[in-house]
Amino acid sequence: MLVRLTEVCNTGAVTNNTQYSLREVYINPEHVVMVREEQRLKQINEQNRLVDGLEAGHRFSKLVIDRGNTGTEIVVVGAPDAIETILKKQKQVLKG
């Protein structure tokens, strides 16, 4: 079972005027090996909103997803404890 989350994507070049967008991403909870808070995006969002519609208080989490020999990192909207709850809920359903 896959879990639907909202990913924060960098849509511009790495400059002072970086632009962000949101998109849906589907994650296999069994492949998530780490979740931690993404402070940098939280600070940027508090100063000037990353994307229209996001409140200044939104929190963000970086997920590390196992890909065999390597990992992929993505940033999603949500506090680490909220993301953990979503991932655990799906794992329990799979094993139930």
**Structure confidence by residue, pLDDT tens digits, 22-59:** 999 999 999 999 999 999 999 989 988 788 888 888 99
Question: Is residue 92 predicted with pLDDT exceeding 90?
Answer: no
Q: pTM of the full predicted structure?
A: 0.83
Residue-wise pLDDT for 73-88, tens only, equals 999 999 999 999 999 8
| Residues 22 and 6 sit within 8 Å (Cβ to Cβ) | yes
Q: Which two three-digit tokens encode residue 75?
A: 């940033």
Give the domain extent around 82. Answer: 3-95
Residue among 53, 75, 87 at smallest CA distance from 6:
75
Specify the pLDDT at position 16: 64
Report the domain count for the chain.
1
Question: In this predicted structure, what is the pLDDT of residue 94?
Answer: 45
Per the CB < 8 A criterion, the answer to whether 38 and 61 are in contact is yes
Calculate mean pLDDT across residues 59-71: 91
